[in-house]
Amino acid sequence: MKIVIIGIQGAGKSTQGNLLAERLDVPYLSTGHIFRKLAREKSKIGRYIKETMTAGFLIPDKKTLQIVTEYLQRPEYKNGYIIDGFPRTVEQAKEFSHEVDKVVYLRVSDKEALWRLSYRNGEVRDDETVAAVRKRIELFHKVTEPVLDYYRKKGILIEVDGEKPIEEVSKEIFKKLGI
């Protein structure tokens, strides 16, 4: 099964993605994982990604789509995967939708996401200031929320209350996926 997990930063995508991957016995990855792994490779694309990321730039949408699509053609993903961080735009979703069986949306309020990210393990993280997190959440609403409507219209979107305890969230996901 090929599943995309969508949610604002702090929604629990990594936690639920790993639980789902374990349940389905398929790999879990994020676009960040893909880019970091490729950047370590001694290849043309690896050098491009490393140079782009080192310079502090984002990988452009078309390039992201190409990289993710090619990456997921590797043998370890032939039986399925769980991915988060992609697609981020409707254009990416349209180009990639033929490969997606289900899309899980972890619904979490902005307030809850801010709290989770600001106080992981009771400590404020230096790399996730409130201002930076608010900007990412704002971008999610502006750029990624339309992706939810796209998948909703296709009939493959599963919405889950991501504010419940981890076990309840995963139970609801499993139930809605029929696994």
Spans of all domains in the chain: 2-177
Instruction: Name the amino acid, one letter, at 91.
Output: E
Please tell me the pTM assigned to this model.
0.85
pLDDT score of 176: 97
Which pLDDT value is given to residue 10?
Answer: 87
pLDDT in the model for residue 52:
85
> What confidence score (pLDDT) does residue 53 get?
77
pLDDT of 127 reads 47
Q: What is the 3-state secondary structure (H, E, C) of 112-159?
A: HHHHHHHCHHHCCCCCCCHHHHHHHHHHHHHHHHHHHHHHHHHCCEEE
pLDDT at 60: 84
Taking 70 as the pLDDT cut, the residues of the chain under it are: 56, 97-98, 119-129, 132
Question: Would you state the pLDDT for residue 120?
Answer: 64
CATH tag, 2-177: 3.40.50.300
